[in-house]
Copies of this chain bind each other. A is one copy, B any other.
Amino acid sequence: MPLTKAEITRLRSLQEKKHREALGLFVVEGEKVVGELLAAGFPFVEIYATDAWSGRVSRPDEPRLTGDGSPYPQTTAISAAEMARVSHYPNPASVLAVGQIARRPLPAGTLDHGLTLALDGIQDPGNVGTLLRIADWFAFDRVVLSPDCADLFSQKVINASMGSFARVAVHTAPLADVLAGCTAPVLGCDLQGDDVHALPVLRDAIVVIGSEGRGLSAAVAARLTRRVTIPRHGGAESLNAAVAAAIVCDNLRRAQK
């Protein structure tokens, strides 16, 4: 049964944040990203695929299995022409999947335990995705995004996370406010801080990363309890946000050994 015009309009509309927010749904397209999220057990609510999908949808009513053994949501077989109409890309992929937007609550005291990566106004979606991947690699307990970060549910963020989108607990919250009452140390990078190579053992910590262009906002910078510096040897004025975050995370984990 072909997709109705209304269904095509709805799927296309999810390319825009305002429609994602209104419907509480997001969409990702592409064999690689859909495959990564399925492998991580992400509970998509709809999957649309052509015959070219490597998961080969021969019968739309045939359940498929996700990485954790639970069945895929019912997969709808569509034609290449239909995919072209719902696709985000000039060259449509063979699969497109819809997920629910879940907003995780952040009860007071949450950030006092374990390791948190907090992103303050990171607007480049590729950087946000790369930072999720770093949080995942270093097994941080959570990521907190300030409301002005790139939209977590945009395809570019999810693509760049290489599947980590499905594995990392992500919250969105006004950063300066949630950092206000924290007892865990709040670390930020600075050119005049303590040497990151001399970090003590920190089981609980919040690592705050500012935007590439503007650095930390004043309100968030005021919440830092420990400024750390990555030793510089040459002429570059700074490192990019994801690179700096990764070096701090590696040194935090190294100190814990």
Residues of A within 8 A of B (CB): 40, 126, 130, 133-140, 162-164, 167, 197, 230-240, 242-243, 246-247, 250-251, 253-254, 257
Contact = CB atoms under 8 A, between A and B. Distances in A.
A40 B235 CA distance: 9
Nearest to A132: B236
A240 B240 CA distance: 13
Given A230-B250, A242-B243, A243-B242, A236 B197 contact: no
24 contacts: A133-B239, A133-B240, A134-B236, A135-B234, A136-B235, A136-B236, A137-B233, A137-B239, A138-B233, A138-B234, A139-B235, A140-B234, A162-B237, A162-B238, A167-B235, A167-B236, A197-B257, A230-B250, A231-B250, A231-B254, A239-B246, A246-B246, A246-B247, A247-B250
Contacts of A137: 230, 232-234, 236, 239
Given A197-B257, A240-B130, A136 B234 contact: yes
Contacts of A163: 235-237
B254 A197 contact: yes
B130 A235 contact: no
Contacts of A164: 235-236
A240 B243 CA distance: 10
Nearest to A212: B162
Contacts of A138: 232-234
A213 to B, nearest CB: 10
Closest 8 CB pairs of A and B: A139-B234, A139-B233, A136-B236, A137-B236, A243-B246, A167-B235, A136-B234, A247-B250
Nearest to A32: B213
Nearest to A131: B243
Contacts of A243: 130, 134, 242-243, 246
Nearest to A160: B240
Given A162-B238, A167-B236, 9 more contacts: A133-B236, A136-B234, A137-B239, A139-B233, A197-B254, A231-B254, A240-B242, A246-B247, A247-B250
